[in-house]
Amino acid sequence: MATVLRSTVTAKAASGSPGRRKGGSTGQLSPWRLAGFASLTVPIYAAQMPLAVHLPAIYSQHFGLSLAAIGAIFLAERLWGAAADPLIGALSDRTRSRFGRRRPWIVAGAIAFGLAAIALFFPVFGVTPVYLAVSLFIMYLGWSMIQIPYLAWSGEIFGEYHERTRIATFQAVAGASSLLLVLVLPTIIDQVDPQDGALKLGAMGAVVIVSLILSLNFALRAFPEKPAPLTQPARLPLREALRVVFADRLLLRVLASDLAVTTGQGIRSVLIVFFVTHYMGLPQWASGLFLLQFIFGIVAGPIWAQIGYRIGKHRAAVAGEVVQIAINLGLLLVTPGNLPLLLGLTVAQGFAQGSGNLMLRAIVADVADRHRLETGHDRAALFFSAFSLSMKGGMALAVGIALPLVGWLGFDPTAPANTPAALNGLLYVFAFGPAVAHLISAAFIHGFPLDEAEHSRIRRALDERDHALQPAE
């Protein structure tokens, strides 16, 4: 018992702001430090939406690349990521330096990410499939080098069940705010010249690059890194790293759920410009609806965090998926020019936005704790690399499936007018695709056994073991 009490006092002291909150948390991290740490989410999210939504449309409509070529490039990049992400996670877990395990990877990744962002958002050499492929591959490599160690670090800051939800909530709010910021500029440009794709790209790229420079300093200074474990993880070849990931059934359930939810969100994101412009006949609202969604998405994170405090992370994730199923099926009632109903569904989507992603990201750290207790190995970054892969895989599947599918159904974004059958095909993919994906996501995470009580037991056991391993003074 004395060991457990000592561990609890140590955790409170590390938090910097002891206290007690309804929901079971025994300490809270400083909100200002959390905001600084979460700021690194801004450039990551600010790039995500343009890459998934605006870049395919602009590169096809304004630079003449085919939808099939764009879809194939995005899909190929994810296959490359399938090999790179677990390797980055395993190497980050093994890294030992005076700067920490996570910081060196984040800095190196930021350099690659920033240079590739300049190439993608400010193309000066002419856009070809090869140019897009090389720039996209480098950018996503840098993205992985930032995101995987960063997510692992976020799970190591504080081990308490609900405080991890709070950390993820700060990151979700920062991400939604960045999406709002990156969408304001295209919305303004749409009111002036909706056909100027290069200007839209440049405006969004400026947000990505400037926010990367500013947030990198804030995030790296917000919290000290947790000391590396006394026992260094064994070297893991790629095949062995994948075996470790696929051997953990709880992690696989989280990954499958996140892959599905991200695919659903990606289908909606990649098709909304086409849907609003061609099906609804409202091109001036294409960026504005995204903007409206993310205005409400900023307050969605704290709302879903409160739900998670009360019913648990996995139940909150299921509830969020059910809400999104209803919203996407409601799109079937939308008719061309019926803006009020579409506005209402967009607002509802904003409130439901990110509910599943938020909870699932917080659950990964809990699963990593369970793995460390059972095996003695700290593989948080490896586990988050798999989670990063599921997120990026979902976005790639959305582009690789949705664009060729609507094209097969007859939709052509460059045609002066599409047939009613082609427009209906666009509507059905836009509505049913996300609804089915959210249903699959809810099914995978329903009844998840790692709840607050089980995680508390795991943390007590880890604290006792870590204390016993400390050298005697």
3-state secondary structure of 410: coil
Distance CA 449, CA 422 (A): 44
Q: Quick one: pLDDT at residue 231?
A: 59
Q: Quick one: pLDDT at residue 142?
A: 92
CA angle, 326 as apex, 363 and 187 as ends, to 5°? 85
Q: Quick one: pLDDT at residue 228?
A: 63
Q: Quick one: pLDDT at residue 234?
A: 60
Distance CA 320, CA 24 (A): 22
CB 442 within 8 A of CB 318: yes
Q: Quick one: pLDDT at residue 238?
A: 65
Q: Quick one: pLDDT at residue 14?
A: 38
Q: Quick one: pLDDT at residue 237?
A: 66
Taking the CB of residue 245, how many other CB atoms lie within 10 A of it?
Answer: 22
Point out which residues pair with 21 in neighbouring strands: 25
What does 107-153 look like in DSSP terms, one character per residue? HHHHHHHHHHHHHHHS--S---HHHHHHHHHHHHHHHHHHHHHHHHH
Q: Quick one: pLDDT at residue 431?
A: 94
Alpha helices for 332-419 (secondary structure H): 339-352, 355-375, 380-408
Distance CA 219, CA 167 (A): 13
Q: Give me the tens of pLDDT residue by residue for the chain, a chain 473 residues long.
A: 333 333 333 333 333 333 334 433 445 778 888 889 989 999 988 887 778 777 887 788 777 788 788 878 877 877 777 777 888 887 888 777 778 888 999 999 999 999 999 988 888 777 788 888 888 899 989 988 998 889 888 888 877 778 888 888 888 888 878 877 777 777 677 677 766 667 878 888 888 999 999 999 899 988 888 766 655 556 666 677 778 888 889 999 999 999 999 899 889 888 888 899 899 988 878 777 877 777 787 778 888 888 888 898 889 999 999 999 999 999 999 998 888 999 999 889 888 876 777 788 889 889 988 988 888 887 878 888 888 778 777 877 887 889 889 989 999 888 888 999 999 999 999 999 999 999 999 999 999 998 888 888 988 888 887 676 555 44
